[in-house]
Chains A and B, each alone.
Chain A
């Protein structure tokens, strides 16, 4: 009897160790018997501002393998079905099992053998799938683009990286997520929520049904549909106009801050970055010397050139240095520091403020800067203090900092601070003549195209802006408050009328005459960004119509020389297309010239 009790005691202790103390068997059991099959949600669709479908989904199929279950596997037949060679098969198997390339490898969990199966391959495999134990097909969702435009703004989705998986446990190897553009900015809205079904499978891997009749299964939640501010028709037109050129176009609706058009030229088709060829095409784009993947509107920083004169005109009025009647002389330039000269082109002299904008007079703004920095020590106490006042006014336009666009990789640009000059020249050792080039938007000032487009919107709004954004609305939700909050600049509304007058003058009879549209009264300002590497960049910013503006735009054409040649006609055509939806016969020649213009080839 003692032996019986003794044996029983040993068994109970052993059972206790196995069942209560040691928990590892539980996990084994789960991976044994449960097949947790992920059901991917459909990703949110993307519509343009007119409700036109831009991005939709298409199903793709991945071949998954559970190595442990692959017994008596007929490799040759499998290769035949997929039309691959035995060597390819072996190579894929090796890379799956290589823990350096695939750290999550396990014999017990499904591994991706091949992704993005073609529909024919899928059909063929589906028929013979039962012959290949351990192999199953996972359906996933990929993007399908209805248009070949807007690649940069839309962005793309791609397989998650190890880093992204570490950062968010939602993702599993082989999942897709937004990797650029709004796909990544609004990933959490678009992706929805994965569902799963828990299937029971027996020792042969045969599915025996849903665990607890599916009580624990979860249906996927579809991603939210987004409407973006882009007008895809205008986007397409703008991209066509930029054919054969490098540069960028940003158009904003001033009353909302919605981005209407976002072009970085050269452009590429968003479909290139979908599916099996994604990485191949990506590498090709990356190697392109014209940098199609470089996000110019947000990241390219250029000196704003003459477009910056509008800012000067506004700040100087606000600071009481000039008013609409103030006139300065210009004799083909501005002479300073004895023998130095900052040149200007030929025009009548002296000019008042609106004329200085219309004719883009350099000397006018040198005089104004001198008046602010050198002649107002009584008001400000010192040159440095005067500069600080100017600096703060300028920064209220959104310069020198990121605007906060709903887009990755935005750059801040730069406005030199007082500290910068103090360090460079020594405190009190600099004055207007030292830094004269900032008066005309050259020198140390750098702005991105989106900031200049925003400047156009500010002028159109007479003193305020909404942070430019791509997202217009979300299905069943509101957009971030950040994009519906008015930001006021330091400039009073009354100082804008004279700038409007000047910019109107530029279009009707000044530097931007070529862009004149009969039916639309609009305001614009040309600019030339000096480029130490080659021909100057051509810049034009504008808003239209003059009263109750609907569009503010900034156009940059790299290496195009003076602003009027390329940037003005492009902006003008886009404005007309946007407001009238068509280009009249009378201006077809201009459209033709732009469309055929090839500036890259000239290089």
Chain B
């Protein structure tokens, strides 16, 4: 058959080679990270470098196996697989032993396995399958809600496993929806929501409300194009602030800044409602909605931060924001990681010469913090190469996804790219201290069998779909 013979020719070898390079570098890095003076053997299977090598072999075999599977199989099993995975996730909560507070690992004989890794794969397949069904329209509430459920369900279950980091990965599917026609405003509001959340933690309500009032100015122009309202709105708020500040000068304890900003926000909302009636235009209310959203987010975020997040998560966020410094406790990882990477210099200390990582100063150095070892031993040079390798890898997948002719392959391709991007972005961002510590691995580098297998399956399923890009029959 044509298909069987052309698979090697149609396969995107560029991606395969990048994948091979990454797992090879990853293997050497794991070796360096857990290097022990007494066990220097690269193939010592009782140690992590040897085990990682085994997983590399298993992953390669699995990759070949996936390439041999009939393409239609993936679409066909998508729903069933998704349902099975969700079931497994729920079961995991009850059967998994307590590992550092989370119940996410299933013990099978000598092996441990994290179903959450495979759940990403199942969700990606399911999402691609559902969104590529004939007549799917995201603007239709029913379709939108089902889409949101497909993404949200595994998130909820994984949060219940106390594995918040892995749950956050599913947020990245929003980017896929965006590619498939989701309103871009949502992304902007999403970004604003994160900004407000951070502002509120750092400076409190007053700054967030004031920011909302200021952002109200461009929103008024955007939604109403009403220049006179723009002027009145601006003058009114300046007047409110002026009067309140004078009052504060006379008697400071009478008005706190929070109260002033609430007055300003409330007056602005009232003004817009009044104008909405006068001009008989509901567009004005969009801005009011934004204000209400902001106020709600702030109260909600405050509540969520203090009541939903666990104390260690609260501290991780505060450490990144610089609100708290605790070099012995929560900040320890971040600080040691920074020292390890920073001490690498331009060209690093050389393979196996890292002292910080070698002597266990950096916790989780062969799993989530593996990038430290690269930073210390290969320096800025090596880090840049790894970052660029990832950029190339992710962009290559996006390019491949764009050239797909079936929505199923395209959506699935985007899902794969986004998942890799999220892991890359969060993991390295956390290691270099730009993001809070969220325990997710760096694909193909971090030690771990189930993550390597899951990412390999994720990638090669797409590469298999890609070999059929000219095939109209798929899905």
A498 within 8 A of B: no
B residues near A204, Cβ cutoff 8 Å: 360
B432 within 8 A of A: yes
Task: Provide the B67-83 mask, 1 if CB < 8 A to any CB of A, else 0.
Answer: 00000000000000000
How many angstroms between the C-alpha atoms of A5 and B394 in the bound complex? 10
A4 within 8 A of B: yes
A residues near B175, Cβ cutoff 8 Å: 3
A474 within 8 A of B: no
Contact of A32 among B339, B391, B429, B432 (CB under 8 A): B339
Closest Cβ–Cβ distance, residue B423 to chain A (whole Å)? 12
Check if A15 sits within 8 Å of B341, measured CB to CB. yes
Closest Cβ–Cβ distance, residue B390 to chain A (whole Å)? 7
B380 within 8 A of A: yes
8 further A-B pairs in the complex, CB-CB below 8 A; given A1-B395, A16-B380, A25-B338: A5-B391, A11-B434, A19-B383, A24-B342, A25-B343, A29-B343, A32-B339, A33-B356
Which one, A118-126, A195-203, A303-311, is touching chain B? A195-203
Check if B391 sits within 8 Å of A8, measured CB to CB. yes
Check if A18 sits within 8 Å of B432, measured CB to CB. yes
B residues near A208, Cβ cutoff 8 Å: 37, 359
How many angstroms between the C-alpha atoms of A201 and B380 in the bound complex? 25
A residues near B345, Cβ cutoff 8 Å: 19-20, 26
Contact of B339 among A5, A16, A25, A202 (CB under 8 A): A25
- The contact sample of 12 A-B pairs, CB cut-off 8 A, is A4-B398, A4-B421, A5-B391, A11-B429, A15-B375, A19-B375, A25-B341, A25-B343, A29-B355, A32-B355, A34-B355, A202-B359
A12 within 8 A of B: yes
B residues near A28, Cβ cutoff 8 Å: 339, 342-343
- Near B by CB (< 8 A), chain A positions 1-44 give 1, 3-5, 7-8, 10-12, 14-16, 18-20, 22, 24-26, 28-30, 32-34
B340 within 8 A of A: yes
How many angstroms between the C-alpha atoms of A33 and B359 in the bound complex? 7
- Near A by CB (< 8 A), chain B positions 360-419 give 360-361, 375-376, 379-380, 383-384, 387-388, 390-391, 394-395, 398
A residues near B361, Cβ cutoff 8 Å: 32-33, 202-203
Check if B432 sits within 8 Å of A14, measured CB to CB. yes
B24 within 8 A of A: no
Known contacts: A15-B375, A33-B355. The answer to whether A8 contacts B388 by CB under 8 A is yes
How many angstroms between the C-alpha atoms of A5 and B425 in the bound complex? 11
Query: How big is the B interface, by class?
Result: 35 or more
Closest Cβ–Cβ distance, residue A132 to chain B (whole Å)? 19
Check if A8 sits within 8 Å of B383, measured CB to CB. no
Q: Which residue numbers of A lie inside 8 Å of B, CB to CB? A: 1, 3-5, 7-8, 10-12, 14-16, 18-20, 22, 24-26, 28-30, 32-34, 200-204, 208-209, 211
A residues near B355, Cβ cutoff 8 Å: 29, 32-34, 200, 211
B26 within 8 A of A: no
Closest Cβ–Cβ distance, residue B162 to chain A (whole Å)? 26
A residues near B287, Cβ cutoff 8 Å: none
B344 within 8 A of A: yes
How many angstroms between the C-alpha atoms of A4 and B358 in the bound complex? 31
Give how many A-B residue pairs fall within 8 Å (CB-CB).
Answer: 103
Q: Which residue numbers of B lie inside 8 Å of A, CB to CB? A: 37, 175, 338-346, 355-356, 358-361, 375-376, 379-380, 383-384, 387-388, 390-391, 394-395, 398, 421, 424-425, 428-429, 432, 434
Closest B residue, CB atoms, query A25? B342
B residues near A14, Cβ cutoff 8 Å: 432, 434
Check if B391 sits within 8 Å of A20, measured CB to CB. no
Check if A18 sits within 8 Å of B395, measured CB to CB. no
Closest Cβ–Cβ distance, residue A101 to chain B (whole Å)? 26
How many angstroms between the C-alpha atoms of A76 and B408 in the bound complex? 70
A residues near B376, Cβ cutoff 8 Å: 29
Closest Cβ–Cβ distance, residue A25 to chain B (whole Å)? 3
A residues near B384, Cβ cutoff 8 Å: 12, 15
Interface SS, A side = helix
A residues near B388, Cβ cutoff 8 Å: 8
Known contacts: A33-B355, A201-B359. The answer to whether A20 contacts B387 by CB under 8 A is no
Instruction: Please indicate which of the listed interface residues B37, B342, B432 has the most CB atoms of chain A within 10 Å of its own CB.
Output: B342
Check if B359 sits within 8 Å of A203, measured CB to CB. yes
Interface SS, B side = helix
How many angstroms between the C-alpha atoms of A306 and B361 in the bound complex? 79
A residues near B375, Cβ cutoff 8 Å: 15, 18-19
How many angstroms between the C-alpha atoms of A32 and B346 in the bound complex? 20
Check if A26 sits within 8 Å of B390, measured CB to CB. no
How many angstroms between the C-alpha atoms of A18 and B338 in the bound complex? 8
Q: Which 5 A-B pairs have the closest CB atoms?
A: A25-B342, A29-B343, A33-B355, A202-B359, A19-B380
A residues near B339, Cβ cutoff 8 Å: 25, 28-29, 32
Check if B356 sits within 8 Å of A29, measured CB to CB. yes
How many angstroms between the C-alpha atoms of A34 and B421 in the bound complex? 37
How many angstroms between the C-alpha atoms of A26 and B344 in the bound complex? 8
Closest Cβ–Cβ distance, residue A507 to chain B (whole Å)? 77
How many angstroms between the C-alpha atoms of A7 and B361 in the bound complex? 28
Instruction: Please indicate which of the listed interface residues B375, B379, B432 has the most CB atoms of chain A within 10 Å of its own CB.
Output: B432
How many angstroms between the C-alpha atoms of A20 and B432 in the bound complex? 14
Closest Cβ–Cβ distance, residue B172 to chain A (whole Å)? 11
Check if B343 sits within 8 Å of A26, measured CB to CB. yes
Check if A209 sits within 8 Å of B37, measured CB to CB. yes
B residues near A26, Cβ cutoff 8 Å: 342-343, 345
A residues near B434, Cβ cutoff 8 Å: 10-11, 14
A residues near B383, Cβ cutoff 8 Å: 12, 15, 19
Check if A4 sits within 8 Å of B387, measured CB to CB. no
Instruction: Please indicate which of the listed interface residues A8, A16, A18, A19 has the most CB atoms of chain B within 10 Å of its own CB.
Output: A19
Instruction: Please indicate which of the listed interface residues B339, B340, B429 has the most CB atoms of chain A within 10 Å of its own CB.
Output: B339
B residues near A8, Cβ cutoff 8 Å: 387-388, 390-391
How many angstroms between the C-alpha atoms of A180 and B372 in the bound complex? 53
A residues near B429, Cβ cutoff 8 Å: 7, 11
A residues near B387, Cβ cutoff 8 Å: 8, 11-12, 15
Closest B residue, CB atoms, query A28? B339
B residues near A11, Cβ cutoff 8 Å: 387, 428-429, 432, 434
Instruction: Please indicate which of the listed interface residues B175, B379, B383, B424 has the most CB atoms of chain A within 10 Å of its own CB.
Output: B383
Check if A200 sits within 8 Å of B359, measured CB to CB. yes
Closest B residue, CB atoms, query A71? B328
How many angstroms between the C-alpha atoms of A204 and B359 in the bound complex? 9
Closest B residue, CB atoms, query A211? B355
Closest Cβ–Cβ distance, residue A252 to chain B (whole Å)? 59
B residues near A19, Cβ cutoff 8 Å: 341-342, 344-346, 375, 379-380, 383
Instruction: Please indicate which of the listed interface residues A12, A25, A30 has the most CB atoms of chain B within 10 Å of its own CB.
Output: A25
How many angstroms between the C-alpha atoms of A570 and B375 in the bound complex? 78
How many angstroms between the C-alpha atoms of A571 and B359 in the bound complex? 70
Check if A32 sits within 8 Å of B356, measured CB to CB. yes
Closest Cβ–Cβ distance, residue B374 to chain A (whole Å)? 10
Check if A20 sits within 8 Å of B395, measured CB to CB. no
B residues near A33, Cβ cutoff 8 Å: 355-356, 358-359, 361
Closest A residue, CB atoms, query B353? A212
How many angstroms between the C-alpha atoms of A200 and B383 in the bound complex? 25
Closest Cβ–Cβ distance, residue A215 to chain B (whole Å)? 12
Closest Cβ–Cβ distance, residue A31 to chain B (whole Å)? 10
A residues near B379, Cβ cutoff 8 Å: 19
How many angstroms between the C-alpha atoms of A33 and B361 in the bound complex? 8
How many angstroms between the C-alpha atoms of A201 and B355 in the bound complex? 9
How many angstroms between the C-alpha atoms of A9 and B356 in the bound complex? 26
How many angstroms between the C-alpha atoms of A209 and B35 in the bound complex? 13
Closest Cβ–Cβ distance, residue B303 to chain A (whole Å)? 30
B residues near A5, Cβ cutoff 8 Å: 391, 395
B residues near A34, Cβ cutoff 8 Å: 355
Closest B residue, CB atoms, query A32? B361
A residues near B343, Cβ cutoff 8 Å: 25-26, 28-30
A residues near B391, Cβ cutoff 8 Å: 4-5, 8
How many angstroms between the C-alpha atoms of A201 and B358 in the bound complex? 10
Instruction: Please indicate which of the listed interface residues B340, B359, B360, B383 has the most CB atoms of chain A within 10 Å of its own CB.
Output: B359
A residues near B344, Cβ cutoff 8 Å: 19
